[in-house]
Amino acid sequence: MITPLTRPLYILTFIAVDLADRFTGPVPELQLTSQVLHVVFLVLPLLWALGMLSPLDALLLWGMEQALVFGLGGSPMSSNLRLLGMFAMSVCVTVCTFFIPSTLGVVLFSMAMGFLLSLDLSQFGTYCGGGSRGACGDSGWRRGASPAPPSWFGWRLGCSELLLYLGLLLGAMTEAGLLHHFLSPSQNFARGSQDAVSYLLITLFIVCWALREIQGAYVFGGVFLNPLYPRGMANVRVFKQRSRGLHVAGAIRRVLLNLVSPFAMVAFLALDGSVQQLHTASLSVGFTRAFRVVWQSSEDALLQMVVVVSVRLAAGDTRLPGWDSLGTGVQLLLVGLLSDRLLQFLSKLKFALAVLVTSWTEKKQRRQSAGTLLVLNASLCPLLLSVVVLSAMLSAPLLPLFTLPIFLVGFPRPQRSWPGPVGTACPCPDSIYYQQMSGSLACALRSAFARGSLGALTPGSHFLGRFQDRMVWIIILERGYGYCTVNIKGLELQETSCHTVEARRVDEVFEGAFERPERLGLNQGINLHWGNALTPCAALPVRVYSDARNVLSGIIDSHDNLRKLQDDFLKALVWLLLRNCVQRLKAFPWEAIMVESNISSLKFRRDSSSLTSFGDWSDEDDLFGPQPARRTVALVSMEAQLGHTVLQTGPSLPGSVEMDSLFENMALSALQPLQPLGLGLGLPAVDKGRNPEVPPTKSSGTLAHENFSCPHRELFSLPLGWRTAPLLPFRLQQLRPLFPEEWFRFTLGRLALAVQDEASEDVAKALKEDGGLRDLHAQVALSCLISLGAESAFTSPSYVYRVYSGDVPWTEGLKWLSENKELYQLALKAFRYSFKLLFDQASLGPMESLDELFSTLEEYERDWYIGLVAEKGWQDSVLQEKPFLFSLGHDLTMGTYTGRVLSLQEQLVQVGHLNGEGVRGQWANLSWELLYATNDDEERYSIQAHPIMLRNLTVQAADPPLGYPIYSSVPLHLPCF
């Protein structure tokens, strides 16, 4: 809504300056500004056409960010709302500092508010809103949209964190108050104490810098290899052992940087003499910022204080009028601003030189105009340097037009570069791999940030992680005391030509840093890729899926393997059928209890009642004695579902029929047909064709009379619908020898003990010898075999692939199998398990025993997902971090079948630091090109592969719609205390 106001605002600003110059007294600065704006006004149309003037919203956000960082000691924020809130609070603190009359009050107030504003205030909001600590290792934090962080120290605000922060705050306030009160800054003794603290600060800076340098793969700005960093990335365990010394050094650095340095800097500020002159606007702003930046960015504050201290020690007793009159707070502010602009200038200059040099040295980047552009840039070298300097002064991106060596100053914008919220992406099925690894990667980044392995952390820094075919883009959004906010993006896995060229160069850069031998010569210790946009930093152990692909030629097309597949399928299906019974009883244990109680009750009644004994008869009012308990229709129906053979119970006269006691007073027409249940009550015949649930026996393979012999057989009985395959009995009889009876008895014995904790081996033995139960499972298993069209054998690899994929060709029993959805899923899973058995036995050798086969199937069920990559179960298993996944695929171009295995394990992800100004410059060109030049050609020059600048990967990492990362996390707040 405010975008249309951009051009009128610039025009009104120019007019306002001109009117102020006309109607006020002679002010040299105002006159010079008016003259410059008169010249700029003439070229306004050109500036708008080139996109060099900021839109109004970007200009306001940029101004607030610059004021917050360099004027108020804060940090760039991860969202516009957080930026507005933090800017308003920081301004209020500065205004309050100006009106506090006592210098002691100013010191204590500035100290306390600087500490509180440097913390992650979003955690306080969660804590005050009733948020509780999550469970340690909560997998939901890894998986998705509303992450619940682990309960490690710092991830969520709790009692331990509150006690630590409170202790630090009280300790720092006590230190500042006592030093300021008892050692007045105007006393000579205070100056001597401040000098001692100055030497301590210099020592701390040198030690912290040295300990940080040895944490990375390179030292001295990425020029020389670090001889202390371990080489060889083959074994994670060995890498961790070799890194123990660096971890100890990192722990020492953490203590010095997070605990010792802030208290030393607070002491230096409390003893400073300029505190007595706080009642001016500049000094109030300077000291408020100084006490804030001590906590907000301790490493930067330590550098700034060392520069100020070094100037004082170098000057000695000589007074520097222009410098000393500023006061320590303003001096620190200027040093911070100048150091930032200097680093930006050097980074932009390196980026500009990379564009210039590679436009000629890289053959694919050399255009016909390359020589002309090089000559122009050489002849206009002062103009080029002026553009780079102006870009650094404005903290605006250096824009290479169409990524050619033609440089402009992009419009100033916040560090995040994009107006939309963090976390937008272009998701696809491959996004789940980045979503899974983002949680473990965040944990690894947390440790790396704390140790200093990735260098100095500043908002706007970019890192690139590489593992196998995955590219991870990491952006630092904001930084505070004890925390860092990052955004993790995942780039596409598709192997396009541009992607492949740059990925190969990334691998070369990382190999040069991490895969070299331990002992290096002098010429081998130099970074040969120093000019590249990527500088390797460290290798981080991350729990991630390793992807292995195999061509199955010689396995899936072997006739011996295909014949073995049929036998393995029946064994896997029998195992799944029996295991399904166990799971059903564990999910509904009351069924098993009721079945056992009914069996015991029937057995007790049958044993206790004797038709030849009348000794228990009595002469009570009831002629026939006590009536047996009436059995309800629900109980009869339940026993019918479970397949019980109901016997007449209780004492009765010989020849009598207890119909009333069995069905109470209900009409027989309201009951289910009884003949299939085997009740044998002599009732009239019922036309079974009228009952759709029970198909005719003559045309089905249903067991008409289940000859069960074990009283516990109901524990492993199968549903009625699974016994009604419309298949001729003689077909089942022909295939009956294929049923693995020995395997059935072995599996039944193992699972029977798992159902009942108190079951004895006699019960398992009785179940194994139950012929009716064996015939029932044989009928269902063979019916599934016929329905899948495999009664002869799996004849071809294409047929195996179709069945594995669930695209089963039509067979006689396929409709029946597909209607029984649970059985169909079990049959499909059994086939996939059998193919995995085929794959394993072809690779590792045949199974030597039934016990090994049983253990293997248990491992498949527990630790594997065996299916297709496109299935939802595959994605759910990745997010649930299933240890292993297997898929069968078909490469249409090569005409081969492939096996894909994902294994979850701790691997080393190599991470490198990117030239942040190069990234911002290419993003600025992308934005200009698509928004101003409307060059949306998918094959345009400016997104082609560039091995030095990584141009294609950088474009991918931009936020949609200009870029297309397939995954982008919400802002992740990582504790790095």
Burial class for 443, CB neighbours closer than 10 Å (0-12, 13-18, 19+):
buried
Task: Tell me, yes or no, whether 737 lies in a domain.
Answer: yes
Task: Tell me, yes or no, whether 124 lies in a domain.
Answer: no
Task: Tell me, yes or no, whether 522 lies in a domain.
Answer: yes
- Asked whether 16 and 24 are in contact (CB, 8 A), the reply is no
Running DSSP on this structure, what letter comes out for residue 723? G
Distance CA 212, CA 200 (A): 18
Secondary structure (3-state) at 487: strand
Distance CA 822, CA 824 (A): 5
What would the pLDDT profile of 736-752 be if each residue is shown by its tens digit?
A: 888 998 998 888 888 87
Q: Considering 855, 874, 893, which residue would you say is the last residue of a domain?
A: 874
Q: Which of 301, 297, 305, 299 is nearest to 272 (CA)?
A: 305
pLDDT at 682: 38
> What is the crossing angle of helices 589-608 and 559-587, to 10°?
80
Distance CA 669, CA 466 (A): 73
Distance CA 698, CA 700 (A): 6
Distance CA 967, CA 429 (A): 10
- My answer on whether 760 and 842 are in the same domain is yes
Sign of CA dihedral 375, 377, 381, 383: positive
Token reading at 655: 């020849």
Residues 305, 278, 106: CA angle, nearest 5 degrees: 85
- Radius of gyration of the chain measured on its C-alpha atoms: 39
Sign of CA dihedral 801, 806, 811, 812: positive
> What is the crossing angle of helices 328-361 and 298-315, to 10°?
110
Q: Considering 841, 874, 907, which residue would you say is the last residue of a domain?
A: 874
pLDDT at 274: 81
Q: Considering 853, 874, 895, which residue would you say is the last residue of a domain?
A: 874
Running DSSP on this structure, what letter comes out for residue 224? E
pLDDT at 390: 94
pLDDT at 85: 93
Strands 407-409 and 398-400: antiparallel
Amino acid at position 395, single letter = S
CA distances from 370 to 365, 502, 531, 925, 928 (A): 9, 22, 19, 19, 22
Residues 386, 389, 395: CA angle, nearest 5 degrees: 140
- Asked whether 595 and 642 are in contact (CB, 8 A), the reply is yes
- My answer on whether 519 and 563 are in the same domain is no
Task: List CB contacts of 318: < 8 A, sequence separation 6 or more.
Answer: none
Distance CA 814, CA 696 (A): 18
- My answer on whether 783 and 716 are in the same domain is yes
Residue labelled with tokens 């690139």: 464
Residue labelled with tokens 């899974």: 436
Distance CA 718, CA 598 (A): 19
Task: Tell me, yes or no, whether 93 lies in a domain.
Answer: no
pLDDT at 326: 87
Distance of CA 99 to the CA centre of its chain: 48
What percent of the residues of the chain are helix, what percent strand, and what percent coil, each to the nearest 5? 55, 10, 35
Amino acid at position 140, single letter = G
- My answer on whether 866 and 723 are in the same domain is yes
Distance CA 972, CA 471 (A): 18
- My answer on whether 855 and 960 are in the same domain is no
Q: Which helix (H) or strand (E) holds 467?
A: strand 462-467
Task: Tell me, yes or no, whether 822 lies in a domain.
Answer: yes
- My answer on whether 448 and 529 are in the same domain is yes
- Asked whether 65 and 256 are in contact (CB, 8 A), the reply is no
Running DSSP on this structure, what letter comes out for residue 256? I
- My answer on whether 744 and 860 are in the same domain is yes
Q: Would you tell me how many other CB atoms lie within 10 Å of the CB of residue 446? A: 22
- Asked whether 504 and 948 are in contact (CB, 8 A), the reply is no
Running DSSP on this structure, what letter comes out for residue 133? P
- My answer on whether 722 and 858 are in the same domain is yes
Token reading at 391: 């870009």
- Asked whether 161 and 481 are in contact (CB, 8 A), the reply is no
Amino acid at position 205, single letter = F
Which stretches of 609-687 are DSSP H helices? 633-642, 659-663
- Asked whether 225 and 523 are in contact (CB, 8 A), the reply is no
Amino acid at position 286, single letter = G
CA distances from 499 to 491, 496, 795 (A): 10, 5, 41
Q: Which of 540, 543, 530 is nearest to 466 (CA)?
A: 540
Q: Which of 848, 841, 851 is nearest to 747 (CA)?
A: 851
- My answer on whether 855 and 782 are in the same domain is yes
One-letter-per-residue 3-state SS of 34-58? HHHHHHHHHCHHHHHHCCCCCCHHH
Which stretches of 756-847 are DSSP H helices? 761-768, 771-787, 797-804, 814-819, 821-844
Running DSSP on this structure, what letter comes out for residue 259? I
Task: Tell me, yes or no, whether 565 lies in a domain.
Answer: yes
- My answer on whether 836 and 761 are in the same domain is yes
- My answer on whether 717 and 851 are in the same domain is yes
pLDDT at 755: 63
Strands 462-467 and 407-409: unpaired
Token reading at 912: 């490198």
Amino acid at position 598, single letter = N
Distance CA 661, CA 646 (A): 13
User: How many distinct structural domains can be found in the chain?
Assistant: 2
CA dihedral 49, 54, 55, 57 (to 10 degrees): 170
- Asked whether 930 and 962 are in contact (CB, 8 A), the reply is yes
Distance CA 849, CA 478 (A): 59
Token reading at 269: 């500020």
- My answer on whether 801 and 836 are in the same domain is yes
Token reading at 875: 């994605």
Distance CA 159, CA 665 (A): 68
Residue labelled with tokens 């009351």: 590
Distance CA 388, CA 345 (A): 7
Task: List CB contacts of 115: < 8 A, sequence separation 6 or more.
Answer: 168, 169, 172, 295, 481
Task: Tell me, yes or no, whether 932 lies in a domain.
Answer: yes
Peptide bond into 76 cis (omega under 30): no
Helix count (H) and strand count (E) of the chain?
A: 36, 13
pLDDT at 350: 95
Residue labelled with tokens 């001016």: 280
Residues of the chain whose pLDDT is less than 50? 130-147, 590-708, 758
Q: Which helix (H) or strand (E) holds 719?
A: none
pLDDT at 103: 86
Q: Which domain holds residue 772?
A: 559-586+712-874
Q: Which of 266, 262, 258 is nearest to 194 (CA)?
A: 266
- The number of residues making up the chain comes to 977
Token reading at 462: 């970019």
Token reading at 369: 């105009």
